[in-house]
Amino acid sequence: MSLAFVFPGQGSQQVGMGKALAEAFPEAGAVFREADEALGFPISKLCFEGPESELQLTANSQPAILTVSVACARLLMERGVRPAAVAGHSLGEYSALVTAGALTYEDAVLAVHRRGVYMQEAVPVGEGAMAALLGIDLAEADQVCADVSADGSGIVSVANDNAPGQIVVAGGTAAVLRAVSLARERGARRAMRLPVSAPFHCALMAPARHRLAEDLERIPFSDLAIPLVTNVDARPVRTGEEARDALIRQVTARVRWTESIQALREIGVSAAVEVGTGQILAGLVRRVDPRLRVTSIGDPASLEAAAALAAQA
């Protein structure tokens, strides 16, 4: 059995995340202190105590999620648990690259904080939206988006191919609402707007992509000690330049999560640990390939369960 680490993205944040790990393990607490020092504000306090309204802000939630994921990964690896491959869902790709040795933690936490700022500023509040389309396949979702864009309703495209029958679209608010209506007409089991503050992973994020690219070009990227399956191409990469390019392109490109899990299977992965708060990715991985054994880590008890699964690898 070959093990992969998979890292969650935005939406997995919750008040209290990482607190039990930081209290139980000094090395986890050190990760939060490093983040506080690098950012110049107490992201640890937002993680542990909230308020939720502040933690939900994109510029805060992104470094918060990264910090918890890096703390979890360090705990696993210090206990001899080493993955054969890594992957991250959108923002989670930064956590994966820290774990793979391509990015320093300090560079990553600063980059994702700015990434969150750029994404929020790219589209004025209210002018962009995202929606989940459940019970239709990727080809049907692509056709819905193409038809909405063609009828003059505006920009909308598939943002996340999360699992079979679980698609997220993003774009201008009017276009997304039209896509929701059309998907329902065409048999979607459920279609609903999501409570997010910006239309991630679509063409409207181009201003954020350009600003982030300038930042990432100034950051040194090392070649990876562990292969990363990227969001944008759903294939493994090993060089720092490939990793940098993938991070830049992913801002406006769809998250190809279904294909990414399939790519992990193709390189021999048979078990996965979701490294960070929540269990969103564990559920998606099971939907993509029920043969994969998967667990999640986010507290001391789940750390032991993940270490036990890894011991079988």
* pLDDT score at 1: 54
Whether 313 shows a pLDDT value over 70: the answer reads no
Q: Which fold has domain 2-122+204-311?
A: Malonyl-Coenzyme A Acyl Carrier Protein; domain 2 (3.40.366)
d(CA 72, CA 18): 8
Of 300 and 219, more confident: 219
In the predicted model, what is the mean pLDDT of residues 31-60? Answer: 95
Whether 303 shows a pLDDT value over 60: the answer reads yes
Whether 210 is catalytic:
no
- Label the pairing between strands 166-172 and 128-134: antiparallel
Please state, rounded to an integer, the average pLDDT across all residues of the chain.
95
Enter the pTM of the model: 0.96
* pLDDT score at 163: 97
* pLDDT score at 180: 98
* pLDDT score at 302: 87
d(CA 53, CA 274): 25
Which residue of the set 44, 95, 153, 201 is catalytic?
201
* Segment 221-258, tens digit of pLDDT: 999 999 999 999 999 999 999 999 999 999 999 999 99
Which residue of the set 12, 61, 90, 302 is catalytic?
90
Whether 201 is catalytic:
yes
Q: 191 forms bridges with which residues in the sheet?
A: 133
pLDDT band of residue 11 (cuts 50, 70, 90) is confident
> In whole angstroms, what separates CA 101 from the centre of its chain?
18
Ranges in the chain annotated CATH 3.40.366.10 = 2-122+204-311
* pLDDT score at 195: 87
* Segment 83-130, tens digit of pLDDT: 999 999 999 999 999 999 999 999 999 999 999 999 999 999 889 999
Whether 281 shows a pLDDT value over 90: the answer reads yes
Q: 158 forms bridges with which residues in the sheet?
A: 169
User: With pLDDT > 90 as the criterion, what percentage of the chain qualifies?
Assistant: 89
Q: Which CATH class is domain 137-196?
A: alpha beta
- With tokens 């994966």, the residue in question is 96
* Segment 139-148, tens digit of pLDDT: 999 999 999 9
* pLDDT score at 286: 96
* pLDDT score at 309: 73
Ranges in the chain annotated CATH 3.30.70.250 = 137-196
CB burial readout 288-311, b (16+ within 10 A) else e: bbeebbbbbbbbeebbeebbebbe
pLDDT band of residue 186 (cuts 50, 70, 90) is very high
d(CA 43, CA 22): 13
